[in-house]
Structures are given as structure tokens and as C-alpha cells.
Amino acid sequence: MKVCIAEKPSVARDIAEVLGAKQRKDGYYEGNGFQVTWTFGHFCTLKEPHDYYEYWKYWRLEDLPMIPPHFGIKLIDNSGVQKQFKVIEQLVGQSEEVINCGDAGQEGELIQRWVLLKAKCAAPVKRLWISSLTEEAIRNGFSQLRESSQYDNLYAAGSARAIGDWLLGMNATRLFTKKFAQGKVVLSIGRVQTPTLAMIVARQKEINAFVSAEYWELKTLYKKVEFTATIDRIVQVERAEKGLVYLKEHPFEITSFERKEGKEGNPRLFDLTALQVEANKKYGYSADDTLKHIQNLYEKKLVTYPRVDTTYLSEDLHPKIEGILKDMTPYANLIAPILQKPIPKLKSVFDDKKVTDHHAIIPTGIYPENLHLDEKRIYDLVARRFIAAFYPECKISNTTVLGKVGQVEFKATGKQILEPGWKEVYANDAPTQKEGEEQEEAEKILPVFEVGESGPHEPRIHKGKTSPPKPYTEATLLRAMETAGKQVEDEEMRELLKDNGIGRPSTRANIIETLFRRKYIEKKKKNIFATQTGMDLIDTIQNELLKSPELTGNWERKLRLIEKGEYAMETFKQELIQMVVDLTQEVKNNTGRSITIAPEAPPVKEEEPKPRAPKKAVELDSLLCPKCKTHPVKKGNTAYGCGNFSVCGFKVPFEVFGKKLSDKQLANLLTKGKTGKIKGLKVDGGDVEGKIVLNETFNIVVEK
């Protein structure tokens, strides 16, 4: 019997259907020579400090650094996980062959390898590697299964990442907490979260230190076109007034008129970060929400694998593009012009050298039905970007006019769209244009001027104020993480810097959410600001290695080299061990100031009586996560989630099925697995009465 292990029950069901394993058993499907079972995310985790030595259970400076003699894994302490693992262990022990059907990425590989390692798998292992969950993709994948050994380097990179995060996170968090924190405060330090926070704090300090200054510019109106003086901004109003007097004494003269035709290249296909950036700019979605929506679309077979960092397609996909476009019937009017001639094999779209394990995110061609509004919006972004890639380039005309008044030179520029090309795809859409751009300025058409012409004009003084640096939004923060803090607009240069980015596309959303959850950053409208707590923490960290986006990006580059087989996992581990040893010695000898973390609740005004802490909130914060049963539940910005969310993944939004849950309902859901009956739950477009329940995979469903 061949045993297939998928990462989720829903994926296992799809695979079982294709393979003909239609008999449902306890924890797996069976039939046609296959048994198809599943995990539900991470089943195993690296052992905790106390699993190695009892005395590591206690946070003491003298025990640091903690360097285990070897790193072991253990099952997550959760009854559902342990029950399903026994099923997997039994099936694997009796199998003739195991097929790893986990998500085709680094995290998916790590999840499956750890499960097989814990189950002491002795059978030969094959790998299913697919980029979408359509029936055709699953059938093709099983017809060309790969050897598991092909992905040993991917597993090594995932292991190195986990070990690196353990070494730095466990040691540095205890180190800084015991050395500098007061009371029961925990100062959380992470390989990715700390340099990300450092970037936000640095921007915050620039904003706080900024002093706005007034300036004056000379402008003039000639033939209804406004020209601006090209001299430096004037910082004294008296000089500006003298300049205005001078301008009134001389006519305006055209010295140069130049009109150049150019092109605006098509927007690149989406990788995950670009999609998160666009969704944040257009709809205000958080990176985490966008990842959730695109993952749902992938599992509904509507888009290809989303956790990718390339904007290119492999060249062997070119013959399939026409078929995908033809199947996208909701966009038939936009697609019709493309299908009038053969699909071009554009180098900006198809490039095998720019594709590793997966290609850019594109639609599969399956008709999108019964989608929630958020999923519709994300699908529409992906669909339009895919269509726009095969439209002609946008042809424009850029006009530059130079003039002078006496000895003062002036300039005006204009832009005209000659042929909209790919912009037609967005003609009836909200003003979102080429990815990475701000909202475009209105088209500005300048009349034709003759060099040497001269005439009267209307000069004036424009008064302005210098502006502080812009705070980060999730969109600009994601871009900064991708390019290790460098401000990069050019897409080619951005591609080159991706290997040195902070974190991976699939983890950046969680890093940002972690910073929110720990109250190191906060959001005001769409802008992200460092809290005083976050600023204090970064100020306390004197070691630049922990805070540097570029150095952390270098670690990421090494992890990618491990993935390619070009760097040894053991070397990376030894480098991190040495860094932790050096850091520990440095901080122990440091006499830096202690910091106090501000309470999570907003401060109470002095004239108001101090309210009693709400009992229910305290109870919720004291509950253990029902999934891993190890870490306490923590309150975030939009949900309660496991304190070890990056591993466990459990969370309950404040609002589900159109209802904001009370503390009592949340407590019942977390402790009993279900709420009492609730009226008016929004299900499939209608209102129903029922209980909100955690199912066997700890997803939230309605029980009528």
C-alpha cells in the first residue's frame, strides 16, 4: 500500500478523489492501492530548553548561552495532533512507499520531514511537487513523482532556519529580559522581527526629529501653463519678494521645447510580496489577511501556489497560457484582444533562469464561484495582472518646456498617453496602476511652444513647508523587508536584492503581526508607528548585528544558498552559535539601562477613577491554546491567537460569521470547543442560528 501524506484534510480529500481512494477511514482515505492521510500544519517542533536539561526551565543569566549538544524534535502537546500522528505512524510503518504531498515549499517540506522522522519512516519516500491543486495538476504530479532526495537541500535550509531562530530567539530573549527588563516583562528578540522593528524605529526617530521649515518658490503662468523656477528653494521671504519684483520687469521667453515618445512597461506578474503590497495599497488589507485570502483561493484551485518570490513563469508554461485565458470567462471582454494573435513569449514574463521551485501567481482558469468579497478582490488583482502582462505596452509622450524670465530659468513638464495598452485592463478599475507606483497624476497635455517666442506672464510666489519622512505602511514595510531596507523602485534591481531580503515571503506577514501583538508597533489608519516600548527595546540593544537589516539579509542569503546546495547547513549553524556566544558575553558585561514595558491598556486620565480590570479579559489571556495546549492565548489587533502562533498557527478572530464574539463566548470556544447558540450568523449569504465550533482541525465552523 502506498501512503500519501498531505498538509491539510481538504488537500488530502482532493488527492484521494483523484487517486480513487474513496473509502473514508478514521484519519485517512483508502482505495485503489493508496492510503491518503494528512497533518494539519505543524505536528512537530524543536524541543524546548527544559526538554534538554531540567535547569534550563528557569530563566537565569548564568545558564546562558543555551547550546544543545544536538537539536531534537518533539510532537506538539495537543490531543488532536497526537491522535492523528498515531494514524500516520501506523500507516507509514506498514507502507511499501510513502509519498510526501506537503505544500511544495520550504515550510511544507520541513513539516513533512519532521513527521516522517518522528514516525521512524523506513519506507522509500517520493515527492509530489505541484503548483496548483486542480485535478489536472494532481494527475500530472503523480505521473511524474520525484525522489525525496531531490529536496534534501530544501529540508536542510528549513532546518537551518528553525535552528537559527531557536538559537537566537531563545537565548537573546532570555538574555535581554534578565539583563534589562523590570518586573515580569519579556523582551522578545528575533532573527527577523528585531531588524524589522529597528527599521520602523529608525523611521520613527526621523519623523520625531523632523522640524518643518517654510520655503518659497517662484512660479509663473504663461499661456495658461504653469512654470516653476529651477533655482533652489528660497528660505527667506524677502528674497522671494525681490524675485517677484524682478520677474514683473521682464517678459517670459521659451528657450527649449522637447516632446519625446516613450513606453511604460507592463506590470510584472505577482509574487506574494507584490500581491500583499498591492492589496494593502488598494484595499488596506494587512499582509496576513492577503496571505490568508490567496491561500484560500489556492485551496479552491483558482490560483497557483502563492508563497513564491518570483514574478516570472517557466518557459514550458507558454503553450498553456492561451487555454487559461480562454477559460477566464468573467474577463472575456478584456481577453478578446489578446487572443486575436498568438500569445507572445515575452522575456519579461517567461524566464527559466528566474524561476526556482515555483512560478509567479497566476489564475488556473477555473471559474471563480461563491467567493467572499475579500477573496473576489484578491482574485481580481491576480487575474487583471495576468491579463495585463500580455497586452501591448503603454505608449506615452513626455513633454519638457524650458523658459526664462530675465536670468531666471523656468521649467514645465507634461505627459500624454498616446496608446493606453495594458492600462486598458484597469480603465474601469480604481486607480491602481503599475505595481510599486503611487496613484498616477492626471494626464497633463502641454500645448506646442516655439523656441524664441516671448510674451507677458503672471508671476507669483508659492509658499510651502518641508514634509517629514513618510511613516511605513504595510506595503512600504514589506518592500523594505524584501530589499533589506534599501529604497528601490527599479523592478530589475529589486529582483536582484530579493536573495538578501529579511525573512521569506511566506513569513513576513507573521513577523509584522508578531510586532503588533507584542505592542512594539501600532497602526494609525494605514500608517505604522513604533510604540515607546518598541523604541526602548531597540535603544537597549547595542549589538548592531541584531538590528541590521543588511546583516540579517545576509543570513537569509546563506539560507537560500543552503537551499541551492551551495552552503553547508553545519557552517551556518556554527556561525550562529558563535554569534550567540559572543552576544551573550557582550550583553552580560553591558551596563545599559533597564526598561519598563508600558501596560497593554491605554493610560487612564488622572481625574478619572481607575477602572477595575475586566475579569473576562484576564481569563482569556490566562487560557492555554486549545490546539497546542502549551502556550497561552494572546490578544492581538484583530484576533486571539496562540502565543507561539508562528509554529502553532491557531487564532480566533474577534468577529466571525458576522458576529463580534463576547468574552464569554470566546472563553467557551477556547475551553469547550463551542459557544452557545447565536442568532444571525452569516452563512452562505443568509442568516442562521447555531453554535460556533472548533472542528477537528481547529478551524471555525457553524454547527446548526
Q: Are 227 and 202 in contact (CB under 8 A)?
A: no
Average pLDDT of the segment spanning 326-355: 93
Q: Highest mean pLDDT: which of 238-247, 362-371, 677-686? A: 238-247
Beta bridge mates, 339: none
What's residue 491's pLDDT? Answer: 62
How much is the pLDDT for 442? Answer: 54
* C-alpha 636, offset from chain centre: 17
> What are the strands of the beta sheet with 458-465, ordered from one edge?
454-455, 252-264, 394-405, 408-419, 225-229, 214-222, 458-465
Confidence of residue 615 (pLDDT cuts 50, 70, 90): very low
C-alpha cell read off for 351: 524566464
| Residues 449-469: tens digit of each pLDDT | 999 999 999 999 999 999 999
Determine the Cα–Cα distance for residues 378 and 386; give it in Å rounded to an integer: 13
Burial class (CB in 10 A: 0-12, 13-18, 19+), 598: middle
Residue 295 has pLDDT above 90, yes or no: yes
| Cα Rg of the chain (Å, integer) | 29
Supply the pLDDT for residue 647. 67
From 138-147, 279-288, 307-316, 692-701, the region with the lowest mean pLDDT? 692-701
* Out of 40-44, 383-387, 485-489, least confident range: 485-489
Place of cell 482515505: 29
Across the range 106-117, mean pLDDT stands at 94
Sheet arrangement for strand 700-703: 678-683, 686-694, 700-703
User: Around Cβ 271, how many Cβ atoms within 10 Å?
Assistant: 24
Q: Is the pLDDT of residue 595 over 70?
A: no
**Secondary structure (3-state) at 438:** coil
Secondary structure class of 71 (helix, strand, coil): coil
Whether the Cβ atoms of residue 201 and residue 534 lie closer than 8 Å to each other: yes
Comparing C-alpha atoms, which of 151, 81, 164, 71 is closest to residue 119?
Answer: 81
367-414: pLDDT as tens digits: 998 899 999 999 999 999 999 999 999 999 999 999 999 999 999 999
Q: Which residues make Cβ contacts (< 8 Å) with residue 524, sequence separation at least 6?
A: none
Question: Hey, which bits of 394-504 come out as E strands?
Answer: 394-405, 408-419, 454-455, 458-465, 472-473
Question: For the chain, which domains are there?
Answer: 2-144 (3.40.50.140), 160-209+471-588 (1.10.460.10), 214-266+394-465 (2.70.20.10), 272-388 (1.10.290.10), 615-703 (no CATH)
Average pLDDT, the chain: 88
Q: Which residues contact 643 (CB under 8 A, 6 or more apart)?
A: 625, 631, 632, 633, 634
> Looking at this protein, which amino acid is placed at residue 222?
Y
The DSSP bridge pattern shows strands 23-25 and 408-419 to be: unpaired
At 587, give phi and psi (nearest 5°): -75, -40
65 prior amide bond cis, ω within 30 = yes
Residue 590: φ, ψ to 5°: -85, 140
| Res. 254: pLDDT tops 50 | yes
Confidence (pLDDT) at 159: 95
Counting residues of the chain whose pLDDT is more than 90, the rounded percentage is 65
CB 518 within 8 A of CB 188: yes
Give the model's pLDDT for residue 646.
67
Mean pLDDT of 683-689: 78
Q: What integer pLDDT is reported at residue 592 of this predicted model? A: 60
Q: What are the φ and ψ backbone dihedral angles of 297, each rounded to 5 degrees?
A: -65, -35
**What is the sign of the dihedral through the CA atoms of 553, 559, 560 and 562?**
positive
d(CA 269, CA 385): 6
- For the chain, the straight-line distance linking the first and the last C-alpha, in angstroms and rounded, comes to 39
- The pLDDT of residue 676 is 86
- Beta-carbon contacts of residue 152 (< 8 Å; ≥ 6 apart): none
Beta bridge partners of 25: 28
Q: Phi-psi region for residue 31, left (φ > 0), alpha (ψ -120 to 50) or beta? A: left
Instruction: Give the C-alpha separation, 159 to 374, whole Å.
Output: 34
What digits encode the pLDDT tens for the residues 492-505? 655 656 667 888 88
Phi, then psi, of 550 in degrees rounded to 5: -70, -40
Of 645 and 162, the one with more pLDDT: 162
- Could you give phi then psi for residue 135, rounded to 5 degrees? -60, -40
Q: Cα 539 from chain centroid?
A: 26
3-state percent helix, strand, coil for the chain, nearest multiple of 5: 40, 20, 35
Which range has the worst mean pLDDT, 8-17, 141-150, 182-191, 271-280?
A: 182-191
How far is 468 from 483, CA to CA, in rounded Å? 22
> Is a pLDDT exceeding 50 seen at residue 692?
yes
For residue 623, pLDDT beyond 80? no
Three cell numbers written together for 411? 521649467
What residues contact residue 272 under an 8 Å CB cut-off, 6+ apart? Answer: 291, 294, 306, 307, 308, 309, 361, 505, 506
Mean pLDDT to the nearest integer, 500-524: 90
E strands present in 103-248: 125-127, 146-147, 214-222, 225-229
pTM listed for this prediction: 0.76
Report yes or no: 57 and 50 within 8 Å, Cβ to Cβ: yes
pLDDT given at position 684? 73
C-alpha cell at 323: 487555454
Catalytic residues: 305
pLDDT value at position 370? 86
pLDDT in tens, 191-242: 899 999 999 999 999 999 999 999 999 999 999 999 999 999 999 999 999 9
Q: Which amino acid is residue 464, in one-letter code?
A: G
Contact 387, 335 (CB under 8 A): yes
Indicate if the pLDDT at residue 92 is higher than 70. Answer: yes
What digits encode the pLDDT tens for the residues 540-582?
888 888 888 877 888 888 998 999 999 999 999 999 999 999 9
| 391 alpha carbon, distance to own chain's centre | 28
Please tell me which residue, 323 or 647, carries the higher pLDDT value.
323
Q: Is the pLDDT of residue 636 over 60?
A: yes
Query: Residues 45-87: pLDDT tens digits?
Result: 999 999 999 999 999 999 999 999 999 999 999 898 999 999 9
**Contact of 277 with 366, CB cutoff 8 Å:** no
